[in-house]
Amino acid sequence: MTAVSDEGMWLLNDAPKQHLKDKYKFELTDPWLKNAMLGSVRLNSGGSGGFVSAEGLLVTNHHVAADALQKLSKEGQDLLRDGFYAEKRDAELKCPDLEINVLQEIVDVTKEVNAAVKPEMKPAEAFAARRAVMGKLEKDSLDKTGLRSDVVTLYNGGLYHLYKYKKYTDVRLVFAPEKAIASFGGDVDNFEYPRMNLDVAFFRAYENGAPAKTPNFFRWSDTGPAAGDLVFVTGHPGTTNRLETLAKLKHRRDLTLPYTLARLRTLEAALIQYSEQSGEKRRQAATDLHSAANARKAFSGQYQGLLDPKIMAQKKASERAVIDAAAQLKARALTIPGPTPPGWTEAFDNAMNGLEAVEAVQAKLRAFEKPYLLIETGHAFASPLFGIARHCVRAADELPKNSADRLREYRDSALDSLKFQLFSPAPIYPELERAKLTVSLTFLAEQLGGEHELVKLALAGKNPAARAEELIAGTKLFDPAERKKFIPDPGAPVQVGMRAVDLSTDPMIVLARTIDAEARRLRARYETEVEEPERQAYAQLAGVRFLVYGNTLAPDATFTLRLAFGTAQGYEVGGKNLNFHTTFGEAFEKHAELSGKEPFDLPKRWLDGKDKLDLKTPFNFVSTADTIGGNSGSPVLNRAGELIGVNFDRNRHGLVRNFVYTDVQARHIAVHSKSVLEALRKLYPAAPLVKELTGK
């Protein structure tokens, strides 16, 4: 089972150069890859982007920028809805808590991590040893380089790489179009094609109060792709499950995904109800509602995939192929004269042991998965205020420890980013938080039952609505200054934070403090009964796959920088051939066809400026490149490394790509580079921005 077609979200330090040479006659050079690495950015709001000038200008999606747009808005000024453009640098708006990371270097630390775990260790000991060595590697790298340093697990435990990032925390908004054109078609068209969306936004990274110097960037193409062109996507895909065993996928199908969908539907319904109360409440809930609706639709597509017998049969066949190949290696090892090749004799046993171990873990997980997700993951407390309270409580316990011994989110290499988020001055709306907390506490009771001890502990003798009212009305954590009381400045005695937590009567702090022992117990149980045994089992399976397939299989996505590629091509659906790109004219046709009713209502600027536009301008396009969630905002590049598009979605046929790759109808969808220039020049207008992008 080598990589089929153009499957793979590839590591930039192990790119498929030979495949590209053989199939596309393209020489993927190290300078090309270096520019792709240093030009790509990861946003802490959950998406990707890329630098497009030497002065820190970067592009991403409007829906990735939505979090910042909403936080920069206020009553009477809705930047998410109405858009924004800074004609001059001093008008660019500083985002309250947007951080971007730019990958600088990747170091293989597999030997160091594996050496820390001894065969005789119990799972809890192995987990602690692994966490400690990963923490030490990260701290040593941070101390030496000053770069954010994260040890990333690849192949579910087959490899460990140290990723070093340059951080920018002064990020300013430059341009965003109106929401009506950025997400033309709204939830109706989400994960569909044809599409006509200007789903882009521009920010600028600053250093020391001045635009950052970014010599590695992607030059903006004024022509974009043609049909059949080879295209590349550099971005940060979130999570895939292609290397998971059949037993693990069945667990997701039968337990995890139904739970997840029930939670998202419940939250989405509550947010819709809240939004309908007033225009201001609609503004407040806009990004939360989009996030819930988008996730619900994505997970629904995944669930449909796992309910497809063909998909499960494909997974079963690929698993069987690994076992058969391992058996052949073992048989050959017994007949080859001379020394046995390393790993051949053990391959079959390792494959079987790994599969059996993962299956055994699922039985254990079934016993406590819901409490773990509700309490430790925080699904029962759907408010950033609870997340803030938990960090305050846990930081008091964790910061006195050595960095390597802390929970990973409190290690030194992550601490600055955590505090940057924790002390954000971004507004939090009490009524919105009350509505979200009410529905999530209700979901807790629905899932575990009213007599469950965790439910009683969380509700404290009240119904969900009354408990949410008590928590929101009583907490002072809306104020960043209040949060800082619980996490002392560097150099201050750590006991200051511990004492503040112990003495606090803030109801949100009290809730986080009250349930923390049980939450930690669930986390420890998950780490030692699920995470560590699965990691060891998948490491065995990864070793077998390396023996059988070499490096022809890319690792699952981990929200780290990857390279995908494919060709710009349309597809057939329902007997109709869809072109690889749409046009401006099609957007106006759709608006007229549906009488301009939301969500197919073009902005007034577009309707008034229709005659200025070349309606044949390509708007959105599709390709076979392998992308998933997290790739939103990813630069789409041509052979020369020029930016020809900005990825923003998949079609519904691509939702199964979390589990298997297909290019029959599955496509990623991107904004065409030419459409952005046409709109900026003729509708907004934004001549300085166009000049910075093109030099013209």
H helical segments located in 490-583? 495-503, 507-526, 532-549
The ranges of the chain with pLDDT < 50 are 1-4
Determine how many CB atoms are found less than 10 A away from the CB of residue 281.
18
Residue with tokens 């994505």: 298
Q: Say which CATH architecture domain 17-99+171-241+560-694 belongs to.
A: Beta Barrel (2.40)
Determine how many CB atoms are found less than 10 A away from the CB of residue 437.
24
Sequence letter at residue 34: K
C-alpha neighbours within 13 Å on the C-beta side of residue 58: 38
Q: Are 464 and 438 in contact (CB under 8 A)?
A: yes
Q: Is 165 helix (H, G, I), strand (E, B) or coil?
A: strand
Q: What is the pLDDT of residues 375-421, one digit of tens each?
A: 999 999 999 999 999 999 999 999 989 899 999 999 999 999 999 99
- Return all residues near 51 (Cβ < 8 A) that are at least 6 apart: 39, 41, 57, 58, 205, 214, 216, 217, 218
| DSSP 8-state assignment for residue 442 | H
Closest Cα partner for 113 from 155, 167, 166?
155
- Evaluated on CA atoms 555, 556, 560, 562, the torsion sign reads positive
Q: Are 166 and 113 in contact (CB under 8 A)?
A: no
- How far CA 440 is from CA of 89, 261, 271, 379, 426, in Å, comes to 42, 13, 12, 7, 22
- Return all residues near 464 (Cβ < 8 A) that are at least 6 apart: 437, 438, 439, 441, 442, 444, 445
If phi over 0 gives left and psi between -120 and 50 gives alpha, with beta otherwise, what is residue 423? alpha
Q: Are 48 and 61 in contact (CB under 8 A)?
A: no
Strand 618-623 relative to strand 668-672, pairing = antiparallel
- List 100's β-bridge partners, or say none: 43, 168
| DSSP 8-state assignment for residue 627 | -
- Return all residues near 76 (Cβ < 8 A) that are at least 6 apart: none
- Where do the structural domains in the chain lie, given as residue ranges? 17-99+171-241+560-694, 111-167, 246-307+368-534
- Evaluated on CA atoms 588, 592, 593, 597, the torsion sign reads positive
Residue 522: φ, ψ to 5°:
-65, -40
Determine how many CB atoms are found less than 10 A away from the CB of residue 272.
14
Q: Are 191 and 649 in contact (CB under 8 A)?
A: yes
Crossing angle of helices 344-366/309-335, nearest 10°?
150
- Return all residues near 420 (Cβ < 8 A) that are at least 6 apart: 97, 99, 169
Q: Is the peptide bond before 194 cis (omega within 30 degrees of 0)?
A: yes
Q: Where are the beta strands (DSSP E) in 109-227?
A: 148-154, 159-168, 170-176, 201-207, 210-211
| DSSP 8-state assignment for residue 568 | B
Largest CA distance in the chain: 81
Tell me the C-alpha distance between 649 and 192, whole Å: 9
pTM (2 d.p.): 0.95
- In 471-483, which positions are buried (b, 16+ CB within 10 angstroms) versus exposed (e)? bbeebebbeeebb
H helical segments located in 367-492? 369-371, 384-398, 412-422, 430-448, 453-459, 464-474, 480-484
Determine how many CB atoms are found less than 10 A away from the CB of residue 431.
14
C-alpha neighbours within 13 Å on the C-beta side of residue 95: 29
Tell me the C-alpha distance between 610 and 585, whole Å: 9
